[in-house]
Structure 1
Amino acid sequence: MNRTAARRQLSRDGWLYLLFIVIPVLITSQLPELAGRLGERLALPLFVIGLATLFFNLPRFTAYKHALIATEKALSSDAEPAAWAALRAIRLRALRVAALPAWLAAIGAPLGLEPVAQLLLVCGSLALLVLYRVPRQLQ
């Protein structure tokens, strides 16, 4: 795979994960709230767990940084296609972990999680998505 195709594929993955982050929250926020004490009791712990999942990205971001450096070193060599494939695999794994707070917000929407808390979790996931973009130096 050449450099242009790899960058296009990474860009497509980023847009796809943007949809995976935003769409579930938009859909579940339209669902009726589950009445009862169980929903009220689960909303705050779910928000705290969502905030805690932001910290799961620290080792993933370190791995992503190292993969970026390895890809940059492999540019214009025989190892370039393998480096792009490794970068994509590491980035996809990191994007899945970055989407966790938004997915927990989607789960919490029918349980009575406040819209502000949902917005904070989704914004956290979107901020992580921005961190995992591919820099221009890899062109």
Structure 2
Amino acid sequence: MVVPVLISSQLPQLAGRFGEPLALPLFLVGLATLFLNLPRFTAYKHALIATEKDLGSDAEASAWAALRAVRLRALRTAALPAWLAAIGAPLGLEPVAQGLLVSGSLVLLLLYRIPRQLQ
């Protein structure tokens, strides 16, 4: 998630009509996408609980598959703010705003790790 922001910040700035006016709305949309993770985290938490209940049973493989699918969907949603920061870099999004969006995505990634009890 950090690499696209670093690469796109090296691109030339788009000045004029499209650059500066889009930077602030793009940052606000990036902040709003952080809240899209609330239902994803709830689904992930329920999938974790279901997987823990099915450990050692015949349904363990399907529980792990369901957890993997829910987690992958949640990780994609968690990456959205960082990708919006990468899109906003050539549009004039300030480095501080880029750092905030990337940091938010990285913190969300920490939420979606598999706990030690299930490893």
**Normalising by the residue count of structure 2, what TM-score does the alignment of the two structures yield?**
0.98
Q: How far, CA to CA, are the matches of 1:135 and 1:56 in structure 2?
A: 22
Letter in 1 for 2:13: E
Q: How far, CA to CA, are the matches of 1:73 and 1:22 in structure 2?
A: 35
Q: How far, CA to CA, are the matches of 1:80 and 1:127 in structure 2?
A: 29
1:76 equivalenced with 2:87 (yes/no): no
Q: 1:12-32, CA deviations, whole angstroms, 9 ceiling, x for partnerless residues?
A: xxxxxxxxx111111101111
Q: How far, CA to CA, are the matches of 1:125 and 1:93 in structure 2?
A: 14
- Equivalent position of 2:92 in the other structure: 112
1:29 equivalenced with 2:9 (yes/no): yes
Q: Which runs of 4+ in 1 moved over 2 A?
A: none
Give ranges in structure 1 of 5+ residues lacking alignment: 1-20
- Equivalent position of 1:89 in the other structure: 69
Quote the sequence identity (%).
Answer: 83
Displacement after TM superposition at 1:37 (Å): 3.0
- Equivalent position of 1:127 in the other structure: 107
1:113 aligned counterpart, secondary structure: coil
Aligned residue pair count: 119
CA RMSD across the alignment: 0.6
Displacement after TM superposition at 1:109 (Å): 0.1
1:93 aligned counterpart, secondary structure: helix
Q: How far, CA to CA, are the matches of 2:33 and 2:70 in structure 1?
A: 18
- Equivalent position of 1:57 in the other structure: 37
Letter in 2 for 1:31: L
Q: How far, CA to CA, are the matches of 2:23 and 2:17 in structure 1?
A: 10
Q: How far, CA to CA, are the matches of 2:6 and 2:62 in structure 1?
A: 37
Q: How far, CA to CA, are the matches of 1:104 and 1:116 in structure 2?
A: 14
Displacement after TM superposition at 1:73 (Å): 0.3
Q: How far, CA to CA, are the matches of 2:2 and 2:53 in structure 1?
A: 34
Displacement after TM superposition at 1:38 (Å): 1.8
Letter in 1 for 2:47: A
Give ranges in structure 2 of 5+ residues lacking alignment: none
- Equivalent position of 2:18 in the other structure: 38
**Normalising by the residue count of structure 1, what TM-score does the alignment of the two structures yield?**
0.84
Displacement after TM superposition at 1:49 (Å): 0.3
